[in-house]
């Protein structure tokens, strides 16, 4: 069974982002997707701290502490990029102007509920940032994550046990083992890594997964 590594997973997500898409990449693993976007496609990266047309990391020594992304890493601005304030930035998100948002997750339910902001552990200091706005705002919210926890539990679940970020907001989940489409009728397996079967995947997740018809 060929588990995708982080780079392969980022590359897999990048493949599904079409030219001209307005995209917000969440903090952490999703940020890596930027490195795999095909150079022949113009794709607009938005960062919710107020920039659109985000470019790659600057050359060493060229960092500008006032030009950062939502993960507070130094970035650059492409020609054609723009700056704006936080209310306009989240209007882009909440108003449905972003085509695709890619987020990490602790858990995703088969109908698309997302849990990615808080483990709910006693004593943990909660912090939400833009997670809830990102989850429900974009036209499509993709999640990328490893399918199983280190303990082997499925993070794709019937019902999230962690505190929710948003309800029925995730349309697609990219994992190291398979890609799933989510919706009111549950999860459908769109693709699997070589050597994996739908039966094995059902066993790993404990879910009654449907299998998408093969594409023409």
Partner 1 sequence: MIDKGFASIDQAVADIFDGASVMVGGFGTAGMPDELIDALIARNVGELTIISNNAGNGETGLAALIKAGRVRKVICSFPRQADSHHFDARYRAGEIELELVPQGNLAARIQAAGAGLGAIFTPTGFGTLLAEGKETRRIDGKDYVLEYPIHADFALIKAQRADRWGNLVYRKTARNFGPIMAMAAKTAIAQVAEIVPLGSLDPEAIVTPGIFVQRVVQVAPGAAH
Residues that bind partner 1 (CB under 8 A): 19-20, 22, 42, 44, 46-53, 64-68, 70, 72, 77, 79-98, 118, 123-133, 136-137, 163-167
Shortest reach from residue 85's CB to partner 1, in Å: 4
CB of 101 to partner 1, least distance (A): 12
Of residues 27 and 190, the one with the C-beta less far from partner 1: 27
Please, what's the b/e burial string for 117-137 (b: 16 or more CB within 10 A of its CB; e: otherwise)? bbeeeeeeeeeeebbbbbbbb
Q: How far is the CB of 92 from partner 1 (least distance, A)?
A: 6
Catalytic hit among 48, 66, 191, 203: 48
Measured between alpha carbons, how far is residue 169 from residues 7, 113, 115 in Å?
Answer: 25, 6, 11
Give the integer Cα–Cα distance in Å for 128 and 72: 15
Q: Assess whether 48 carries a catalytic annotation.
A: yes
Which residues make Cβ contacts (< 8 Å) with residue 68, sequence separation at least 6?
49, 74, 75
**Which of 20, 208 has the CB closer to partner 1?**
20
Whole-number minimum distance, CB 61 to partner 1, in Å?
17
Please tell me the distance from the alpha carbon of residue 155 to that of residue 55, in angstroms, as a whole number: 32
Q: How far does Cα 26 stand from its chain's mean position?
A: 6
List, by residue number, the catalytic residues: 48
């Amino acid at each position: 069974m060929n588990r995708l590594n982080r780079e392969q997973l980022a590359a897999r997500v990048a493949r599904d982002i079409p030219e001209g898409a307005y995209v917000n990449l969440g903090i952490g693993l999703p940020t890596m997707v930027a490195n795999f976007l095909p150079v022949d496609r113009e794709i607009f990266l938005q960062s919710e701290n107020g920039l659109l047309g985000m470019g790659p990391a600057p050359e060493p020594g060229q960092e500008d502490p006032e030009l950062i992304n939502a993960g507070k890493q130094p970035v650059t601005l492409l020609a054609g990029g723009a700056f704006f304030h936080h209310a306009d930035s989240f209007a882009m998100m909440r108003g449905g102007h972003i085509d695709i948002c890619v987020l990490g997750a602790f858990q995703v339910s088969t109908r698309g509920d997302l849990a990615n902001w808080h483990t709910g552990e006693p004593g943990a200091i909660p912090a939400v940032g833009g997670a809830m706005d990102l989850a429900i705002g974009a036209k499509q919210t993709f999640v990328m994550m490893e399918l199983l926890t280190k303990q082997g539990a499925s993070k794709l679940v019937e019902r999230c046990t962690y505190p929710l970020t948003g309800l029925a907001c995730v349309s697609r989940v990219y994992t190291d083992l398979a890609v799933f489409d989510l919706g009111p009728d549950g999860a459908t397996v769109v693709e699997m890594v070589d050597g994996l079967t739908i039966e094995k995947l059902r066993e790993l997740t404990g879910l009654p997964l449907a299998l998408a018809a093969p594409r023409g």
